């Protein structure tokens, strides 16, 4: 911290230092500067330096004893003829100055002489920011700062610093967070106002563990420096039915809070729920009556893929079959595929793994038994039968897939693949349990092929094909030069071209935009040959030779006739 040298003493501007309480404004402040004397890292009292004298190359420094400004006021009145009608902050009408000065006891002088730690304001602000970040990120109760052991723990590092900076009440933490929220909200509002581009919204409903329906609203825009930005606008509690008639007004309220006008509105991205369609229709009808809702409605591709994957695993597609009643040929073809999947599912590895995971996790005894084998705790007889434990999965447990969480089934199967050795030992032992009621059901047992997860490898290969296919689609999409339908905006970037779409799509997904590969010259003879791209290392043991497909291929699966 920089210091000012006055008469061989070190001073720093008082506004640079942390103060628990804000000092009262005084009439002497416009005519001088408040300084704090420091010795090492200790404060030794507050002073006031006269600007009028400083301009004349003179030094007039007055001590502010207990915050009193009488000496500085007398100097301004006598030497500069200023503030003649002002009253000292410590002077009252009932006590004349002489009597007030006599009442300044030894205790007052002792208070002034007591030094304290000089804490830079920047350090205090950093402590405050880190404390709030920890409380919010770790979901800590506001009252944690009141706990005596917590204060003693921090006090071991620096007791004075804790006394000065750590609040004594959770109410202070609450007020700090509310002030920070208002500050960040105002900052985001100013960023949105400075942007000349459209503001695109994504929104979705989420039910919290406390059964609160929360509407998350995110904005995607380009800032004044032409950088794609993504920010959370609101996590608003939604009361009543989860219908478009309730979602729409909540969204319009958020738009009003951030002063996003109808002309600035871009596209709406959300999943395929009917309520979201109704919400977009309601917003467009209220704010943009001349625009067709389908022109501004973007379907969530991830949600579509997730629906397709779950339908493949366990879907009935009753609504789709009913919609094809007027097309008998298409309905018959779809019914044949569904019949095949219905016959395959009970015998497939996916369903067996799903059932096994649920069976293990439903009982605390079975969970503990499985963890015992995952930690390698085998008896001598079990070691003789299965061999020594060579895996390192002692902290892992089987996961249960969830219909409302994207990719949860893929994550659960991947975890089962990592635990295939403990699964094999556990299911073998539980299948011959002495108590028949505790044996694992036969339909949950994995075969030798299932333990090697051949179908999982095929699913992984299909995923790699899908990612490659999406990249090709994006590359083709970005090369076109069509113009998006919709209203124009003012400024040099009036036309929203399809070539900008990958950038906006990447901003919506929180990733960097895909770039077209550069055109490289023909490779020289000495150039390093291109490597073959295959499956990740952890899936290589699961690669199988499927009929009509080379080993390790990631071509799309053959369509059913």
Residue 71: the pLDDT is 84
> Which whole-number Å values give the CA distances from 222 to 264, 295, 489, 500, 508, in the listed order?
12, 21, 13, 11, 11
Residue 278: the pLDDT is 92
CA distance linking residue 235 with residue 302, whole number of Å: 21
CATH number belonging to domain 195-299: 3.30.420
Question: Distance from CA of residue 459 to its chain's centroid?
Answer: 30
Q: Is 220 helix (H, G, I), strand (E, B) or coil?
A: strand
Alpha helices, H only, 37-82: 51-55, 70-80
Residue 459: the pLDDT is 52
Structural domain spans, the chain: 4-117, 121-179, 195-299, 305-344, 348-452
- In 3D space, the residue among 300, 262, 297 whose CA is nearest the CA of residue 279 turns out to be 297
> Which whole-number Å values give the CA distances from 556 to 161, 309, 312, 466, in the listed order?
63, 15, 15, 8
pLDDT tens-digit map of 419-433: 878 888 888 888 888
Residue 527: the pLDDT is 45
Taking 70 as the pLDDT cut, the residues of the chain under it are 1, 22-23, 85-115, 309-321, 344-348, 388-394, 403-406, 448-561
Instruction: Report if pTM > 0.75.
Output: no
């Amino acid at each position: 911290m920089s210091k000012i040298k006055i008469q061989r003493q070190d001073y720093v501007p008082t506004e640079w230092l942390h103060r628990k309480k804000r000092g009262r404004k005084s009439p002497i402040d416009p005519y001088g500067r408040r300084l704090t004397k420091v010795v090492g890292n200790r404060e030794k009292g507050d002073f006031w330096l006269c600007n009028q004298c400083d301009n004349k190359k003179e030094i007039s420094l007055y001590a502010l004893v207990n915050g009193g400004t009488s000496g500085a006021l007398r100097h301004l009145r006598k030497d500069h003829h200023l503030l003649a009608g002002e009253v000292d902050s410590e002077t009252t009408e009932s006590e004349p100055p002489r009597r007030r000065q006599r009442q300044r006891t030894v205790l007052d002088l002792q208070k002034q002489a007591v030094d304290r730690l000089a804490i830079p304001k920047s350090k205090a602000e950093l402590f405050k920011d880190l404390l709030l970040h920890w409380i919010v990120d770790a979901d800590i109760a506001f009252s944690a700062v009141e706990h005596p052991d917590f204060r003693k723990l921090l006090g071991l590092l620096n007791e004075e610093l804790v006394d000065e900076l750590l609040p004594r009440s959770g109410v202070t933490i609450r007020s700090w967070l509310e002030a920070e929220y208002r500050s960040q909200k105002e900052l985001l509002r100013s960023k949105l106002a400075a942007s000349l581009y459209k503001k695109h919204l994504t929104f979705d409903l989420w039910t919290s563990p406390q059964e609160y329906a929360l509407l998350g609203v995110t904005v995607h825009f380009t800032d004044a420096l032409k950088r794609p930005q993504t920010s959370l606008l609101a996590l608003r509690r939604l009361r009543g039915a989860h219908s478009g008639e309730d979602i729409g007004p909540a969204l319009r309220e958020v738009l009003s809070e951030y002063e996003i006008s109808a002309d600035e509105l871009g596209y709406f991205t959300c999943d395929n729920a009917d309520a979201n369609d109704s919400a977009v229709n309601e917003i467009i009808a209220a704010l943009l009556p001349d625009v067709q809702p389908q022109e501004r409605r973007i379907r969530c591709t991830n949600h579509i893929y997730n629906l397709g994957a779950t339908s493949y695993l366990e879907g009935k597609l009753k609504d789709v079959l009913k919609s094809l009643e007027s097309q008998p040929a298409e309905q018959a073809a779809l019914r044949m595929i569904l019949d095949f999947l219905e016959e395959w599912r009970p015998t497939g590895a996916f369903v067996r793994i799903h059932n096994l995971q649920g069976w293990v996790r439903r009982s605390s005894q079975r969970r503990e038994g499985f963890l015992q084998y995952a930690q390698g705790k085998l008896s001598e007889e079990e070691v003789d039968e299965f061999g020594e434990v060579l895996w390192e999965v002692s902290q892992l447990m089987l996961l249960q897939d969830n219909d409302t969480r994207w990719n949860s089934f893929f994550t659960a199967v991947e975890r089962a693949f990592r635990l295939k050795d403990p699964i094999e030992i556990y299911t073998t032992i539980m299948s011959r349990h002495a108590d028949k009621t505790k044996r694992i059901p036969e339909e949950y047992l994995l075969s030798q092929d299932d333990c090697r997860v051949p179908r999982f490898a095929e699913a992984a290969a299909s995923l790699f094909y899908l990612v490659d296919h999406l990249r090709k689609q994006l590359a083709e999409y970005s090369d076109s030069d069509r113009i998006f339908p919709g209203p124009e905006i003012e400024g040099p970037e009036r036309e929203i071209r399809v070539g900008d779409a990958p950038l906006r799509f990447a901003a919506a997904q929180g990733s960097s935009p895909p770039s077209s590969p550069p055109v490289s010259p023909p490779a020289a003879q000495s150039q390093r040959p291109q490597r073959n791209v295959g499956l990740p290392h952890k899936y290589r043991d699961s690669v199988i030779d499927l009929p009509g497909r080379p080993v390790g291929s990631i071509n799309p699966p053959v369509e059913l006739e």
